[in-house]
Amino acid sequence: MPYIDHFEHADNVVAHLNGIVPTIADPLLRAKYLGFVSVAAVTVYELAVKTIFIEFAQNKHKVLGNFTESYFERINGRIKIKVIKDEYIKRFGTKYVARFQKKLELRANEYFQLYHRDIKNSYSIL
């Protein structure tokens, strides 16, 4: 399954809640819905990260794919940029860490130019 498919779930949840939450007067209940959306978002990102690593490993070698799938069963929301780079990518070799850093800088600069927001900072706090 392409990793982008995981985001459809969160998009559907947010679209549904956009029609419900504005009508709720109770601030505590609204906060609970916000928490639910936050958990859904982290889950979706986690699934996307797992899918990317597992598909990469499976394309390299069947045994590596099996090992990677087993390893990523236990990441439990650990999706900060530092963790992805220093714990996950590093296991595949330093050349991939360098590629990741280069692509991250490129995308971060592009995003900042368009939206004036630092995505690296946003993903460091997840």
The pLDDT tens digits of the residues spanning 79-96 come to 889 999 999 999 999 999
Q: Does 3 or 55 have the greater pLDDT score?
A: 55
pLDDT of residue 126 exceeding 60? no
Q: Nearest-CA neighbor of 58 among 1, 121, 123, 126?
A: 1
CA dihedral 78, 80, 86, 90 (to 10 degrees): 70
- Cα 15 to its chain centre, rounded Å, is 19
pLDDT at 125: 60
Contact criterion met (CB below 8 Å) for 52 and 3: yes
- Summarize pLDDT for 8-32 with one digit per residue, the tens: 888 998 999 999 999 999 999 999 9
DSSP state of 116: S
Mean pLDDT score of the chain: 91
Q: Nearest-CA neighbor of 89 among 107, 104, 111, 109?
A: 104
